[in-house]
Amino acid sequence: MSRTVLMLPGDGIGPEIVAEAEKVLHKINEKFELGLTFESGLVGGAAIDETDSPLPDDTLDKARKADAIVLGAVGGPKWDSLPMAKRPEKGLLGLRSSLELFANLRPAILYPQLASASSLKPEVVSGLDIMIVRELTGGIYFGQPRGVRELESGERQGYNTYAYTESEIRRIGRVAFEAAQQRGKKLCSVDKANVLEVTVLWREIMEDLRREYPDVELSHMYVDNAAMQLVRAPKQFDVIVTGNMFGDILSDEAAMLTGSIGMLPSASLNSEKQGMYEPCHGSAPDIAGQGVANPLATILSAAMMLRYSLGEEKAAENIEAAVSKVLDQGLRTADIMSEGAKKVSTREMGEAVLAAL
């Protein structure tokens, strides 16, 4: 059975980190005889430079046909002054909405080897293992109408719309309840139901779903409290489910609990389990081209792809074990560097994972 993986390096450090993930995938493909074939495409700023579009038809076509996608990151100062519709980020948002990748799974795991990298006290974070399930194709980032308009007074007003349909809430709720069933059976739904009607409905649907998953303990929390609890006592959480914007913010906060955003993978899935896999971080223009970026989040994203879209659990575990092994060996890129460790480049880290496979 031949399955296709589309590699989309994107911008900034994207090409450097995706190159390392691709090497790892080639090796794992051989080792486990997975029958994967690889394609590549342009997205984001790199695509704008070549084709004038952040998401060229050719890329969208390949993405639709692929079984899974590995993406680096998009964006950078070079394209920041373009009109909103032509920005690199539109490429990413376009892929998410065209493929209906509505469920974003972002684990925040603290590797014991990196406990000192967290800005919180080790006793607060050691053993941390949270999964944030973020709705990705609805909410305020996509709601219509939106724009900047001129009021009768002559003053300009910016506006966006925060809306969720019942079915959008239900399908993300199911993904989260199922994730909780496979983990610690605790689900916390985060909303702002004291102020926003859309999240009153969100809470109602989550309560409704509770009956279908009696083994999962459901709780609710306002987003401002959740932001606080994540730094006060993060280990109280198992799975968190929330909307697009709150999830965007909380998952970055959770990422920092683990010390480095350079360690965290993510998966975005649709109802057919087709998925796009990318590191949680951005294109890091400040370090692009220097060979110092941490490729582990992208390599771990490739492992998530094997697990969630391709059903290759053993191959996924092999990659995760190899990452853990290189950390045990004391190898660190600059972002996770600590005293006594050996500093390595992006490529050296990729090579070390290859050797550990």
Q: Which residues participate in the annotated binding site for Mg(2+)?
A: 224, 248, 252
Interface with ligand NAD by CB under 6 A: which range of 73-81, 110-118, 202-210, 229-237? 73-81
C-beta of 199 vs 266, nearer to ligand NAD = 266
CB of 59 to ligand NAD, least distance (A): 14
242-271 residues near ligand NAD, rule: CB under 6 A: 261-262
Among 92, 269, 305, 344, binds ligand NAD (CB under 6 A): 92
CB of 122 to ligand NAD, least distance (A): 22
Q: Is 75 in the site for ligand NAD (CB under 6 A)?
A: yes
Instruction: Read off the amino acid at residue 127.
Output: G
**Which among 247, 234, 249, 235 is positioned nearest to 199, based on CA atoms?**
247
Q: Is 293 in the site for ligand NAD (CB under 6 A)?
A: yes
CB of 148 to ligand NAD, least distance (A): 20
Tell me whether residue 224 is one of the annotated catalytic residues: yes
Strands (E) across 136-172 are located at: 147-150, 156-159
Give the whole-angstrom CA distance, residue 326 versus residue 134: 30
Element housing 250 (H / E): helix 244-257
C-beta of 76 vs 173, nearer to ligand NAD = 76
52: left (phi over 0), alpha (psi -120 to 50) or beta: left
Q: Is 59 in the site for ligand NAD (CB under 6 A)?
A: no
Give the whole-angstrom CA distance, residue 55 versus residue 49: 11
Give the whole-angstrom CA distance, residue 16 versus residue 294: 9
What is the bridge-based pairing of β-strands 239-242 and 217-222? unpaired
CB of 264 to ligand NAD, least distance (A): 9
Burial of 324 (0-12, 13-18, 19+ CB in 10 A): middle
Out of 62, 67, 90, 141, which one is annotated catalytic? 141
CB of 280 to ligand NAD, least distance (A): 8
Q: Is 285 in the site for ligand NAD (CB under 6 A)?
A: yes
Give the whole-angstrom CA distance, residue 291 versus residue 46: 19
Tell me whether residue 111 is one of the annotated catalytic residues: no
Residues marked as catalytic: 141, 192, 224, 248, 252
Residues that bind ligand NAD (CB under 6 A): 13, 17, 73-76, 89, 92, 261-262, 278, 281-287, 293-294, 297, 335
